[in-house]
Amino acid sequence: MILYTYFIIITYMKKSISLFLSDILPYRKKLYHKIVTNKIFKNHTSSEAFNHMKKIGLDGFELLLPQYSTTTDADILEVKKLAEKYNFPVLSVHQSIRFFTATKIKEIGRLCEIAHLLSAKIVVLHINSARKQIFDKKYIQAIHHLEKKYDVHVTFENMEKHIKSYFSSHLWHADSFASLIQNADFTITFDIVHLAHSGGDIINFFENNKDRILNVHLSDYRKHLLNSTLRPMRFKHMPLGDGELPIETFISLLQKENYQGLLTLELHADMNGVEKSISLVNECMT
């Protein structure tokens, strides 16, 4: 993989949004997915939501695969048909959230295959789910082989600092994480809330790592006394403007640096929160 080829995949910054497959295909929901849902689809069918999100200025979406469930080719083809029907494409594929097990090469291969089926060019992995494998040369080489085979980029997302990850700084510390990614020659999905929560500076991180960032998870954040322990979600991944992050300055920096990757809204919000957020993004870009 050669660094100067990274930005061939996208010719301009595209505005995206993270969506659960189980919300797009509600019949696929199991009990867990009925509890953990995305408010964006509240009172909206998939068709209505796609039409509206395109109308307010989004270019497509990041497909978050469901936990505790197998994603079949039939599921993917159904998502693809919807995306094509409403001209609202899948721009990236995000691995399902893991708590207890590590991400094996077989799963990464399936994620790359899914991205290829959907014509998406970016796969998002959680750096903490790689566990110690991320230091294994064979693991790294196998992922690079999959990138070439499926013509995709596997990006690793920086995670947040909390009690269990305190002594694993490569998961959340700006410099340690960036150094690990560079040494393994991977690219980055940059979650600005995770970095802010971990005490990092989102402006400096982008400036220092812009050549490797292909996807930005964009939302707002507000500090809270319990954020490093109980971690209340209502203070994280907030609609833009509801928290404390320098969102306007950050988006202006993306424009100044001619960022050509994905700008992906990752929000715990309903459609009103999406509208508010994309409106702020559009204002900052004018």
* Helix, strand, coil shares, percent, the chain, to 5: 50, 15, 35
Mean pLDDT of 118-139: 97
**What distance in Å separates the CA atoms of residue 152 and residue 123, rounded to the nearest whole number?**
7
Strand partners, 60: 16
When pLDDT is cut at 50, 70 and 90, the band that residue 30 belongs to is low
Q: Give dist(CA 278, CA 265) in Å, integer.
A: 8
Is the model's pLDDT at 29 over the cut of 50?
yes
Determine the pLDDT at residue 8.
42
- Residues in Cβ contact with 70 at an 8 Å cutoff, skipping those fewer than 6 apart: none
CA angle 176, 248, 212 (to 5 degrees): 35
Is this prediction's pTM over 0.95? no
Task: State the chain's mean pLDDT as an integer.
Answer: 90
Looking at residue 239, what is its pLDDT?
A: 96
Do 24 and 82 contact (CB within 8 A), yes or no?
A: yes
Q: What's the mean pLDDT in 50-69?
A: 93
Using CA atoms, how far apart are residues 104 and 216, in angstroms rounded to an integer? 24
Measured distance CA(143)–CA(224) in Å, rounded: 37
Per-residue pLDDT tens over the stretch 181-232:
999 999 999 999 999 999 999 999 999 999 999 999 999 999 876 665 455 4
Q: Give residues with Cβ within 8 angstroms of 141, minimum separation 6.
A: none
**Which pLDDT band, with edges at 50, 70 and 90, does 1 fall under?**
very low
The rounded distance, in Å, linking the Cα atoms of 219 and 194 is 10
Q: For 182-186, 224-228, 261-265, 274-278, which range has the lowest pLDDT when averaged over its residues?
A: 224-228
9 pLDDT above the threshold of 80: no
